[in-house]
Structure 1
């Protein structure tokens, strides 16, 4: 029964997030906001809604391990699974944007901040405020960087069919599904962990993080297949920053979270290594199948270590 509840809850969570992203894009296009800004802000934040809802619910219900492991697992999967799939299935990737020069610091900064904050064994509300400020700084950077890029042409039929009432209604429905789905997903996942005698950390870093990473997977792969490479890669960088800043920050703002950093060195190290690999790939423009395979190898090591902990 717990598994059924978990699957239904994750479905509601993902579908609700998809509706929020979809309608947010329509509103942005209606207001003539450029596609670059849409992808780097609205889509990245929107696809991180499941992680935020799940982690906030976990924190509120005294499951800090689920909240934090969800963030770490999602960051790992976004790079080693989502980005790897893009590299492996898209024939040619030649983004114009220099991700190394413009975005690598934003990929690394939240990870470094998280490591510093976790050393004392607690993610406090003060830490949370600093993480949320980081996301605000990133959005300000993107908006400034996007000046002069121009607004892409919007299909006139899409303009005519736009409805504020419809969009706002769907966004509200999406939020209800996201919040409700998150609470049921965390409760059922905790029950599954107890039933199988495994830690909540393992449930969070595998089951919940995989489920909440599905929006990034769908959005990024879809964007890459439509030759919107910058949106696809930018969504992953933006989503990982949103995970570590907004998701972790919101969860800690709900309730400060105790965190025994030394107990999860392998998972934290994997997140750091995956992020450094992303920066290295961007620096050398290695947007290719070999890069995808190297990321899959890291994913395999990560999954193997997690499965061994279940034995």
Structure 2
């Protein structure tokens, strides 16, 4: 029963996040906010809404392992699974923007600083604030960079639709309700599943919840790759992982300090750093090829083998 509740609650969480992103985008377009600003802030942060809701809910419930493991697992899966499949599916990837200097290099800041923050065994509210501030710095950089180079995906259908405040507010409310309730039940049912099968909450967060919260990126990125927009997928994953490590972890820690068991989490922390370095290497050398996809999927296999064998 808990597994059914988990699937339904994850669906509600993802569906609610989609409502919030769509209607927020609709409001921004209504007020003539530039597409660049929408792409640089709203869409980048919106894709991490499921991770944020799940981690904050876990933090409130005192389930620190699940809150942190969700972010680590999501970051690893976004790069190894999602981008691995994108590289395999896409026939040709020719980004119109330097994804190394303008994007992926920024991932190194929170990814390298996070392990240093948890050497004392916990992530404090101050640590959370500093991580959160890093996303602010990244957004400021995007605002000041060359707007003509930005790869932005704005729903063309939204531009054509007549704006309706009543409908938009109603859907926003529905979205927030689905996200809050979905996150709450997802964490509760996941914890029950962990107890029932004798699996640690760390593993549940690392695989089950992380995979569920990565589904939006997976579906959108594969669709973009099939449409010849694989470069957009890479940009979205970079933005999502940046938001995961800074905003999601930061928000969870500011809600309630997170205790972290370094002995059980060290492999996953180092794997997240390693797979991030792989992405930076790929973008720096423009290795957008099927071979890179195979290498990333091999990392995914190593990750799953270690997690399930732990």
TM-score when normalising by structure 2: 0.93
Equivalence for 2:70: 70
Q: In structure 2, do the counterparts of structure 1 residues 146 and 25 end up closer, same or farther at CA, with 3 Å as the change threshold?
A: farther
Q: Which residue of 2 aligns with 1:20?
A: 20
Trace 1:48-87 onto structure 2 (pairs within 5 A). 48-87=48-87
> Cα distance 1:256–1:92, how it changes in 2: closer, same or farther (>3 A)?
same
Other structure's SS at 1:161 match: coil
Supply the distance in 1 between the matched residues of 2:170 and 2:139 (Cα, whole angstroms). Answer: 26
Q: 1:210 matched to which residue of 2?
A: 211
* Number of residue-to-residue matches in the alignment: 309
CA contact (8 A) 1:124 1:253 kept: yes
Q: Counterpart in 2 of 1:286?
A: 287
Q: 1:110 to 1:292 in 2, by over 3 A?
A: same
Q: Report the alpha carbon displacement of residue 232 of structure 1 after superposing the two structures with TM.
A: 1.6
Residue of structure 2 equivalent to 1:223? 224
**Contact preservation (8 Å) 2:6, 2:189:** yes
**Is 1:178 aligned to residue 182 of structure 2?**
no
Q: CA deviation at 1:285?
A: 0.7
Q: Using the alignment, how far apart are the partners of 2:285 and 2:209 within structure 1? A: 33
8 Å Cα contact 2:93-2:288 kept in structure 1: yes
RMSD: 2.1
For 1:267, the equivalent position in structure 2 comes to 268
Unaligned runs of 5+ in 1: none
Measure the CA separation in 1 of the matches of 2:15 and 2:3: 18
1:167 shift after superposition: 2.4
Cα pair 1:100 1:279 within 8 Å, conserved: yes
Match of 1:242 in 2: 243
Gaps of 5+ in 2: none
Q: Determine the C-alpha separation between the residues in 1 that align with 2:164 and 2:136.
A: 29
Q: Tell me if the contact between 1:223 and 1:232 (Cα under 8 Å) persists in the aligned partners.
A: yes
How many angstroms apart in 1 are the aligned matches of 2:37 and 2:272? 26
The 1-side partners of 2:215 and 2:26 are apart by 21
Cα distance, 1:174 vs. partner? 0.8
* Aligned match of 1:139: 139
- Give how far 1:262 is off: 2.8
CA offset at residue 7 of structure 1? 0.8
- CA displacement, residues 221-248 of structure 1 (integer Å, 9 cap, x when unaligned): 2333333344321110111011111111
Is the contact between residue 36 and residue 231 of structure 1 (CA under 8 Å) also seen in structure 2?
A: no
